[in-house]
């Protein structure tokens, strides 16, 4: 049976936490060469590189990030063990690892996740962002408890994944007051030739919008396409163009960004999914996310 050298792992954990070998050496009161030697032995033991040099910095490899996550749990639990022995309260939070698809706007991701932080018990959320396919693959290795996305898991992926529909929302078009006042005609015809900001075509909502524009004969003047919805929203706030948002967030955006509503269509809907490796959701934080989203989306129908 192979045994893990926790002393080596502790040095590795401190290097990552403090930001470098010299910083860790200063904190642990040992020489940098001693720490470097321990790191080499740890990497040799794993048979994997944990760091990659980036100029003067040491960046974690994918394996390094995985090892650090385990080390974080191990040494956090160790501290709590000592607190328990010494009769100190631990207040250990429940950890939930959430994958957020990179096509999901941050505003929506925060809204979906927020109910997990409102449980009676302490919760620690760990959010990872990547493509849906990459995140779903990490469900299989139990690195994630749930993936939040705007589309269901690809059935061609050879991963056991279950789609839990959270609901959907109609789409509203919003813009600055000055821009909206320049529009002519009724909605949606007023969008013809109007400056529009859109998500890039790798998103489900963009594909649905393109189909709707084609079916209605509306040809907007597409000023920009954005992978990052926060950047799209920033240009929209500046008055560069009108832009689509889920209607469930319309009032929030009008208050925060001083935007005006142009109109809404029920023919284009954005969907929300929680994807898990289990058919029945059990994690209390994931259950809270799903139940809250379904309730609020149902109320806006």
**Is 186 in the same domain as 73?**
no
| Full DSSP string of 233-260 | HHHHHTTS-BEEEEGGGHHHHHHHH-EE
pLDDT, residue 59, reads: 84
Q: Average pLDDT per run of 10 along the chain, which is 301 residues long?
A: 77 86 84 87 87 81 88 80 59 84 88 92 90 86 89 82 91 93 93 95 89 95 92 92 89 77 91 89 90 81 58
**Length in residues, the chain:** 301
User: Number of structural domains, the chain?
Assistant: 3
Residues spanned by the domain of 40: 6-85
pLDDT for the residue numbered 126: 92
Determine, yes or no, domain membership for 108.
yes
pLDDT of 58? 80
Cβ neighbours, 10 Å, residue 237: 17
CATH assignment at residue 105: 3.40.190.10
What is the pLDDT, as a whole number, of residue 291?
Answer: 93
Same-domain pairing of 112 and 230: no
Q: What integer pLDDT is reported at residue 1 of this predicted model?
A: 43
DSSP 92: P
Do residues 45 and 121 both lie within one domain?
A: no
| In-domain check, residue 100 | yes
Check whether residue 182 and residue 255 sit in a common domain. Answer: yes
Q: Among 280, 4, 86, which residue's Cα sits nearest to residue 290?
A: 280
Domain assignment of residue 13, yes or no = yes
Which pLDDT score, from 0 to 100, does residue 30 have? 84
28 within domain boundaries: yes
Could you give the residue ranges of the DSSP H alpha helices within the chain? 6-18, 21-28, 32-46, 62-85, 106-113, 132-140, 177-181, 204-216, 229-237, 250-257, 284-299
- Clarify whether residues 173 and 261 are in a common domain: yes
In this predicted structure, what is the pLDDT of residue 174? 93
pTM above 0.75, yes or no: no
CA 205 vs. chain centroid, Å, equals 17
């Amino acid at each position: 049976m192979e045994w893990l050298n926790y002393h080596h792992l502790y040095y590795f954990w401190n290097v990552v936490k403090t930001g470098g070998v010299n910083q860790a050496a200063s904190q642990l009161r040992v020489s940098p060469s001693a720490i470097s030697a321990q790191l080499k032995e740890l990497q040799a033991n794993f048979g994997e590189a944990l760091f990659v040099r980036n100029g003067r910095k040491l960046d974690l490899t994918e394996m390094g990030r995985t090892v650090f996550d385990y080390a974080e749990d191990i040494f956090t639990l160790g501290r709590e063990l000592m607190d328990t022995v010494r009769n100190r309260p631990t207040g250990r939070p429940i950890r939930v690892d959430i994958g957020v698809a990179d096509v999901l706007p941050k505003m929506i991701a925060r809204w979906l996740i927020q109910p997990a932080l409102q449980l009676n018990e302490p919760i620690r959320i760990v959010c990872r962002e990547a493509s849906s396919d990459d995140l779903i693959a990490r469900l299989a290795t139990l690195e994630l408890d749930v993936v939040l996305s705007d589309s269901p898991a690809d059935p061609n992926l050879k991963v056991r994944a279950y789609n839990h529909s959270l609901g959907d929302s109609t789409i509203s078009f919003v813009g600055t007051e000055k821009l909206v006042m320049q529009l002519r005609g009724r909605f949606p015809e007023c969008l013809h030739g109007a400056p529009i900001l859109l998500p890039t075509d790798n998103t489900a909502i963009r594909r649905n919008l393109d189909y709707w524009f084609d079916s209605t004969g509306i040809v907007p003047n597409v000023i920009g396409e954005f992978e990052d919805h926060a950047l799209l929203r920033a240009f929209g706030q500046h008055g560069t163009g009108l832009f689509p948002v889920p209607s469930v967030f319309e009032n929030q955006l009008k208050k925060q960004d001083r935007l005006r509503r142009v109109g809404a269509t029920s023919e284009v809907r954005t969907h929300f999914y929680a994807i898990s490796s289990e058919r029945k959701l059990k994690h209390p934080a994931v259950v809270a996310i799903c139940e809250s989203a379904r309730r609020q989306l149902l109320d806006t129908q």
